[in-house]
Amino acid sequence: GQNIDQPTEMTATEGAIVQINCTYQTSGFNGLFWYQQHAGEAPTFLSYNVLDGLEEKGRFSSFLSRSKGYSYLLLKELQMKDSASYLCAVLDSNYQLIWGAGTKLIIKP
Amino acid sequence: ETGVTQTPRHLVMGMTNKKSLKCEQHLGHNAMYWYKQSAKKPLELMFVYNFKEQTENNSVPSRFSPECPNSSHLFLHLHTLQPEDSALYLCASSQGGDAGELFFGEGSRLTVL
The radius of gyration of chain B's CA atoms, rounded to the nearest angstrom, is: 13
What type of residue is B23?
C
Burial B73-94 (b: 16+ CB within 10 A, else e): ebbbebeebeeebbbbbbbbbb
Inform me whether the pLDDT recorded for B100 exceeds 80.
no
Using CB atoms, which residue from B43, B100, B107 is nearest to A99?
A: B43
Query: If we measure between CA atoms, which residue out of B37, B18, B27, B28 comes closest to residue B75?
Result: B18
Q: Which residues contact B79 (CB under 8 A, 6 or more apart)?
A: B17, B18, B63, B65
Query: If we measure between CA atoms, which residue out of A98, A36, A5, A25 comes closest to residue A66?
Result: A25
Q: DSSP label at B85?
A: G
**More confident call, B78 vs A94:** B78
Confidence of residue B103 (pLDDT cuts 50, 70, 90): very high
What type of residue is A27?
S
pLDDT of residue B99: 62
Give the β-pairing of B108-112 and B10-13.
parallel
Q: How does pLDDT run across A47-98, given as a tens digit for each residue?
A: 999 999 999 999 999 999 999 999 999 999 999 999 999 999 999 998 889 9
Number of H helices, E strands in chain B: 0, 11
pLDDT of residue B98: 65
Which of helix, strand or coil describes residue B83? helix
pLDDT of residue B2: 75
pLDDT of residue A102: 97
Average pLDDT, chain A: 96
Confidence of residue B84 (pLDDT cuts 50, 70, 90): very high
Interface check for A48 against chain B (CB to CB < 8 A): the answer is: yes
A-chain CB neighbours of B87 within 8 Å are: none
Q: How does pLDDT run across B35-73, given as a tens digit for each residue?
A: 999 998 999 999 999 887 887 777 899 999 999 999 899
Query: If we measure between CA atoms, which residue out of B49, B45, B85, B99 comes closest to residue A90?
Result: B99
Is residue A35 within 8 Å of residue A45, measured between CB atoms? yes
- Dump the DSSP string for chain A: --EEE--SEEEEETTS-EEEEEEEE-SS-S-EEEEEE-TTS--EEEEEE-SSEEEEETTEEEEEETTTTEEEEEE-S--GGG-EEEEEEEE-TTSPEEE---EEEEEE-
Question: What is the Cα–Cα distance from A62 to A34, expressed in whole angstroms?
Answer: 8
Inform me whether the pLDDT recorded for B34 exceeds 90.
yes
Interface check for A87 against chain B (CB to CB < 8 A): the answer is: yes
pLDDT of residue B97: 63
Any idea which of A105-109, B28-32, B97-101 has the lowest mean pLDDT? B97-101
Does A42 contact B40 at a Cβ distance shorter than 8 Å?
Answer: no
pLDDT of residue A94: 87
Does B99 contact A96 at a Cβ distance shorter than 8 Å?
Answer: yes
Does A42 contact B42 at a Cβ distance shorter than 8 Å?
Answer: no
